[in-house]
Structures are given as structure tokens and as C-alpha cells.
Amino acid sequence: AQAGSAMAPLTTDLDNPLAFVDRLLPDERDSNLHFGDVRFWQHLEYIDTSQIYRTKSIEYRTLKLMFCEALFYLIFLGVLTGFILETRSSSVYEAWRQQLDYWGSCQRGPGVNGKRGAGGCSYESVTDAQTLMRWLRDDFTPKAFTDQDSYPPIVDSVSIFSVQNGTMYWMPRYVGDTKTSVLVGAVRIRQLRVSYSEGCSISDELSSVQTDCFAPYSDGIKSQLSWAPIWTPEHLDTHYTWFPAKITEQTEMVGAHGVYDGGGFVLDLPLNLTGALMRLDELSEWGWVDERTRAVIIEMSTLMPNVNVVVHNRMLFEFPAAGGVLARHEAFAFRLLQLSLSLMQADDTGGFMCLFSTVAMNFLLFLYVCFLLYQNGLRYFTYFWSFVDLGILIIFFILVVVNIWTVQEAAVLPNLSPEVIGDPEMFYPVGRLVPKLQLLSALLAILGLVSWLKILKYFTLLGSFHAFVRVIERCVFTLLLFSMLLFIVIFGFAAAFYVSYGRDDNVFGTLLGSFVACIVAPAGGVSLEPIFAHGDTLGPFLVLAYIMLVFLLLLNAFMAICVDTYTVTVYELHEVRSVMTSDPTAIFLWTYYNALKGVKLVGKEREEDKGNAEEQAIAVTSLPEAVASRFFDQRRRMQELLSEAHSEMEMKLREKAIATGKLDPADVPAWQKALATSTPQDGKKLLAVANFPAQRAEAIEDRTWLPMDRDLDSPSGRAMDMLCSSNYREDEEAIYELDNSQTKLNSAGLPIFRAPSLEFREPMCHTPWMTSVVGCPVVGEWLIIGPNKGVFQYLPFEVGGHRYLKKDAYQDDAYMVDLPFPPSIEGKLDGLPYFKSPSIFDRDGKLYAARDSTVRGVMLTGKWLNIGDKYVPMTIKDVPVLRKQDLASLHVKRVQLQRMLDNDPLLRDICGSDRAVDVVRQFRVDVADVDPYEAVRQLQANIAKKLKELEDHGMHLQFDELDTLRTVSQELHSALTESQKEWRAELLGILQMASLLSKALIDLTRKMEQVQLNHSDLSQIANPTK
């Protein structure tokens, strides 16, 4: 039985996006045909909650898949977040912060997390070449020798393997006062220069003042020539020689005044403090940094063993062509795990587990997306969150590819191999990996953002957030299109502010900074002081235009889109919930909880839908004819399915028994033996009239005794026979029974006539009593039978004032299969076989009417039962095998009736309700013998008697006035209900009688028309000249 009230149609199937489920066949509905369909996610509110109670229904299994997906995604999100935190942990940030403060000698502001540089950074004091060299000598270089002043090179050691005097000991090069950072490799200082008088020119008027010019840095005018002054010491020549990027193993760096490639003139700091200071003094004295220098880049890497974090530092000092110095310090920290594939044996077990779990969860997500694509096809791309899933997989795939690329590049770099990585004189080229590591961080940030946004999808399962998620799903594409217009307008304003008010000291100093400032300006936090500081009219005009176009127009249109979508979405959800009052999520959780306990909720309904105990069944005879017919049709189909299943099971058991030798193939089932011994073998063939409609009874009789091919003697007899036979209509055939129970005649049967007249009797021919014949009434009181071999014969309805032919009523009765013999050797699955015709030689395949089942059909001459287009025998060995059931005792359960109403809209229209309990109340007739009013009167008398007895014993009872009114109201309601039931029953009988009278009047009208036609034909035959 189906639980809950089914969702009523919203108007048409077009209004319900999930109406396709209702059009499925029962087998398709419970199959995996639409399992995983994204339309259930898109239109969760339209799910038929009454189907969720069935754990095999597509609705229940789809909701279960949704919750499993939600649970999986929560685990996925937890694993991904753990991986992100493990990769970019707080220790990474602290390492980055410590390196910025240490190398730049930066003083933070007040507080634990004070702003960096609030107290100033020493490198910002560099203003020219001399101050740069002084800062390098006095501030930067000593920071590279905080642990000790000298570190022995490997080339000076006697041996690095054997234990002997002079063997080099490993000495970590700590930097800082806490010994938490180790300087890995050499510190490399590189400068980039421009050529003389290239990319610029000096006017003739100034040529006497300045002969050479030096342009801003670009790749076309950079200098690659050695430029050591005369008498420069030979040990300094290397620093005046240009080396390409493949030798320096450094990458380009983007500055405010140019993009500086990885080549240049290189200085690696010596391994002792005295030598480093001396080398810097010498280079300063010989003018290593001069007017042609455009950039000096310092690059080094440190390792923090406590947290396995590497920090790559680069400090850039730009010398613009216009003069001055622009300094910048950038650092990038990353986990050492990102440079190698971690294994379980490594010390970073947590990093390995996070990496492995993240890859595994993304692989599972990939398999699930493939399953959804297979189930939905192109329909998968109609759902917004499907694109989010694909985006997550694509981003993670790129992340994996870049990560593998980074690990492979780190493996092939010679200076990163384990054999040389500890050499303090070798430069550690981690800068070549930094761009890829920065890309990995960016991809990881985007992946985390998209993954956390996708969790909004699962808030659809919560009714309170349902509308908001629908708004996001519907708005996002529209807002993306509108954002393109907003982007164009904001970019125009950004270009205007950049051109007019861009300076080094404000947010409009770059085009990108100006664009970002225009984007975040509506949220506040952007200072407009650089615009109004000039005191011109352009600034206020641009600000006013920005407010009018962006604030008042575009942003309000942006909000209008959201408000309009929200209004429409809330209205649609309200309309759906007015029909579907139950929450699919709550019903699923309740059903799933009971399923875990082994409790099936099929049939669990609301109390108002159940009704009282006496309203749980109704007699079939009390229901309208259409409802009763539908009930019997469904019952018959179910019995046929059961019989077919039993037959298949019996055949398998029989084949198995034959294969194992437990059954002889020559043996036949018990029913076949019984029929064979009970059938007369006199050669007579049971004959059925095959041209009857399947729903009408068929007359079965032995017609071998009827005389055939007899000619009529007189012209009038031939004329009457021709006239009657020409008007024989098969659609008016009926069954008539020959009944002589009133007269008790001793004759063999009713005489047969060759024409509709007593003078044309067939000699020695008659129809036996208590048999049935099939014919068509013609010419008043005659029944024409035939044709049989082309000959029509006639029987009179009345002879001597007594009526012997009585029309059989259409008796479609119910019978129970009651087999008297034991089950066959194959098992207990056998029953009464079906036949295609009333002959034991015409069995209908493997179909059975199962034991103790109920079949409904028309009994034919006491031998066979006609069930639609099939037949079953009434007796076997003269023992009845079908026991007639009283239809008045046959009841329809309320849950069965509810299922019929749910599956058939026509029945709902006929009954005027979609609730079975209402139909039971409407058509149920009280068959009790006691008058309900008399019963109420007796009840009142008994109550009054009991009250008097209580008062006689000294108990004075008083009823509140409201209770008394309620009691009277309940009694009146009960009496009115009984009256309505009786009135409905009487009205139903009247309507049925009116229907019968209408049919009889139609038949009478047709007969009158036929009489007129017959009269006209007789007149034409009697007077052919007219």
C-alpha cells in the first residue's frame, strides 16, 4: 500500500518537472533508469513524498543517493581543507614573516601582530649606489654570519668521507639569533646594466654638457659587455663578466620600472665575513655599481628544519633613469614536501596522508561525475552545480600536473641533487621553481574557494535554505552576463583615475591597482584624497559620474536581478508547498531511520487520511460500477502475474527434478491426470461461439444433433426466413436458457422451427431443456439461432401461454480455486490451468490459477468458467474445484482503494475525491439490522438510567455547559452522517435504475425502428408491383 497523500497535479504535466516519473511503467519506476537524474536535484520540492515511504522507489533511492553524496562531499571538503592547511600552514606564514623582518631589518609597530615596517626597514634607506654598497657591507652581510664568521669550503678539506685529521665536519649555517633558520647555498648578488647611449639621445644644445645618455632598462638595450675599469684586480674580473640565465640559474623579476631577466653580472658572497666585507669594499672602490646600473637583485634561500619550510628571498633595488632608488623585498615560503613525492616512510607522515587522501577523494569524485554523465547524458549540463563539479576536477587535474612538473624539474636540477645541496659554495636555484610553486598556491586557493562554495548545493536539502540556494542557481548566469557590462564601465573609470591621479604613493599608481580600487570602492575603504588633493574640477566630475553610473545605476540593476529572482522563486516554492505540504527530506530521514530498525513505513499515513476502524474496508457492491470494474481488472491482472510466476517456478522445479532423477519425464501433474480421466471420450467436441466480445458470456453446447441443410417448402416460408436472416445482428446476440421448471413438461426439449412460424416445425428436432442457446430476437416472439453451416433456425419464446426462453443475466461472479487433490510432485506451486477455449486440448501455455486464489468470470453451462479470453474447468472428476464467493462478502481495503485513486485520475473524478477514506464514507452502506436512531435512543436511555443510579447512591454529577454542547454536537453529527450515508445509498440505487431504464428505452427505440423496416419489407414482398 502506498503511504501518504500523493501530490496532486499542479495543473498539467508541464507544471511539474518531475511528471516523467508518473508516466513510467511500474518496472521502470523501480529500476535504475532515472537513478541519479539531476532533475531531482533541480526540482527537489516536486518529489512525490508518498513514494518515499517505499524503499524500492526511485524517489527514496534518489534521496538516499543525495544524502550519500552530501556526506561524501563533507568528507571530501574536510580532507581538502586539511590538505590546504597542511600545505599552507601557520608555520609557513611565520617563516615568511620572519625572513622579511630579518633580512630587511624591519621594526614592527605596537602589538603582537603589528604592521611590518611600521618602525622602518633598513633597506628603505638606500638612495643611491654608495648607500647601497654601504648597506650591503654594514647591514646585510653581517646577517649572513650570525653563528660564526667563517665556514670552511669543501674544496679545502682533505677528505669528506674517511675519518681522519682534516676531515670536514658538517656545519649548518645558521642565520638569526634563535638558530631556527639555516642558509642553504650561497648568497648571490646580481646587477643588470644598460649600454651607452642606446634607446635614448641628447639634443645638440646639451651635448656640451653631457655626452652620454643611459635609457631605462629593457631587454634590447641591456649591456652584456665586460666593463671592468683599467687596473681592476684580476680576482674581480669575474664580477664584471656577464653570465646568461642558464649559468646564473636565476629567473626574471618584475619591478616597477622594468622586467629584469635571469642573466647579469654576479657576485657570490665569500664564506667568511672578513672576505665578504673586503670584496664589497673593493667592488665599491672600483665602481661596480654606477650610473648604468638599473637593478641590483639579492637572492638567497633558507631552510627551517623545525617545520620543514623553505623560504626563498629576493631583494630588488631599482635605479630608474630619472634617478633615485626603489627598493622591494619579496619572499615565498613553501613546505619541503612540495619538492618531492612524500612516502609513508618519510618523517612527514601527516603530509603524506593528506596528499594521498586528497587524491583518493578527487578520484572518487571523478568516478561519481562519470556515473552522472552516463545516467544523464547532455542533461547533466543543465544543472549549475554540474559545472562546479567539473571545475573542481579540472582545477585539481591542473594542480596535479603542475605539481608533478615541479617535482620533475627539481629532480633534474644539478644543484638540487642530494650530493651537492649541502655545499655552501653552490647556489641553491630554488627561484626557478618559485613561479610553479606560486601557481600551485593560486590553484590551491581557487580550488578551496570553489569547493567551499559548492557546499551551498547541499543546503537544498534543508527547507530553510531551499529558496536561497535556488536564487543562487538561477541568478549566477544572469549576473555573470551583467558583470561583463559592469567590468567595462569600472575599467573605464580605473583608466581615467590612473591617468589623472596615479602616483607612486597611492592606490592609483598602477592600472591594476586603480581597477581594484574602483571595484572595492562601493564597499568602502578606498581613500579619495589623491583625487581631491589637486583641487581641480576633473576629480569631482569623475567621482560624481562614478557614483551615478556605478552606485545608482549598475549596482541597483544588479540588486534588482537578485530581488526579482528571489520573488519569483519564493512564489513558485509557495505554490508547490501549498500542494505538497510534506518535506521530502524529513520523510526520507524518518523512513531511513525506520529502515535501519527493520520497520517498513509503507502504509504509514496521517490520522485524518486513515479514518476510523470501521472505515478501513468497503463492500465491492457498494462502490460505483466503474470503481468495482477497475478493482476486478487489477485483481485479475495481479492473479495472472502471480500465476505466470508460479508456472515459471514450477517448470524450473520440474526441470530440476527431472535433471536430478527425482521425476520421470513421462509423469504428468495431478490436474492433468484428473482432467484426462473425467473427460468423456465419445468423440463429441465442445463447441464455443468464437465471435462474442471477450467481456460477454459464451454459450457452450453440443449442436451435433441439429439438422442441417433443410429447404423450406413454401414461398412464404422462404420469404420469412430470408427476411429474418437478413436482419440477424451479431452485436445483439444474447444467451437464453431453456427453462421448463414451471410446467414440468416431459418432452425432450423445445421444438425447432425452420422459419418464425409454428407451421414450419422441424420434425423430430428439439433443443434440450436446461441448456443455453445463443441467438438474436426477431419478429416479435421468436429467437433466431445461427448461422450454422449457413442455415438459420428458430425457437419460440412462448408456447401455449408459457414462456420457455429466459434471457440469462450477465453473471460475472467470483470463485475461489479450491483444489481437492494434493500438490504435484514438483512442489506446491501448481494450480488450476487456464485454457484458450473450453477444451482440455487447448491449454494456454504455462498459466495457472493459483491455489486459494480468487478468479472472476461467467459460468458456462456449469462446466467451464469464462475469464475474459481464458477458461478454467468448474469440476474435475465431478468434484467442484471452483467455489463461488458471495460478492456482498467481498471487500476492498482502504489502502487498495487509495492506490487505485492515486494511479487513475479518472477514478478520482468519478469519486470526487483523492482520499480513499472519503470514498468509503461516501459509498459505505450500514448493513446493520438495528435502526441507528433506535440505537441512539437506547443508548440515551441507558445513560439516563446509569446517572439516576449514581444519584441514588448520593453522587451528584454536574456537567459543564461546554461539555454538554459538545456531546449534543457529536450526536447530531453522527446522526447526520448516517442520514447522508443512507441518502447516498438510495440515490445510488436510483441512478443505477435510471441508467437501466435509459438503456431499455434505447433498445425499445431500436426495436421500433426495426419493426418499421420489417413492415416495409413485408409490404414490398406481398405487393411487388407497388
Convert the pLDDT of each residue in 546-604 to its tens digit: 888 888 888 888 888 888 988 988 888 888 888 777 889 999 999 899 888 887 776 55
For 437-470, letters b (16+ CB in 10 Å) and e give: bebbbebbeebbebbeebeebbebbebeebbbbb
Integer Cα distance of 624 and 897 in angstroms: 12
Cell of 897: 482503494
pTM above 0.85, yes or no: no
H or E, element range at 816: strand 813-817
859-883 pLDDT, tens per residue?
765 577 777 677 778 777 677 777 7
Cell of 318: 631599482
How many degrees, rounded to 5, is the angle at CA 199 between CA 196 and CA 200? 80
Integer Cα distance of 575 and 15 in angstroms: 11
| Across 265-274, average pLDDT | 91
Q: Tell me what the pLDDT averaged over the chain comes to.
A: 77
Structure confidence at residue 735 (pLDDT): 66
Q: How far is CA 753 from CA 437, 735, 756, 792, 1001, in A?
A: 111, 18, 7, 9, 30
617-632 pLDDT, tens per residue?
888 777 887 788 788 7
Integer Cα distance of 410 and 340 in angstroms: 8
Q: How far is CA 975 from CA 511, 575, 908, 979, 986, in A?
A: 87, 38, 27, 6, 17
Q: How far is CA 873 from CA 59, 396, 824, 832, 880, in A?
A: 44, 72, 18, 8, 9
**Which of 277, 273, 265 is closest to 223 using CA atoms?**
265
Structure confidence at residue 90 (pLDDT): 85
Which residue do the cell numbers 642558464 mark?
246
Enumerate the H helices of 916-960 as residue ranges.
916-923, 932-952
Strand partners, 872: 865
Inter-residue long-range contacts of 969-975, CB under 8 Å, 24+ positions, other chains counted = 971/936, 974/936, 975/932, 975/933, 975/936
Exposure on the CB side of residue 855, measured as CA atoms within 13 A: 31
Structure confidence at residue 64 (pLDDT): 93
Residue 36 has pLDDT above 80, yes or no: yes
- Beta strand residue intervals within 578-650, DSSP E: 617-619
630-641 pLDDT, tens per residue?
887 777 777 667
Residue 687 has pLDDT above 50, yes or no: no
- Beta strand residue intervals within 426-579, DSSP E: none
Structure confidence at residue 388 (pLDDT): 94
Residue 822 has pLDDT above 70, yes or no: no
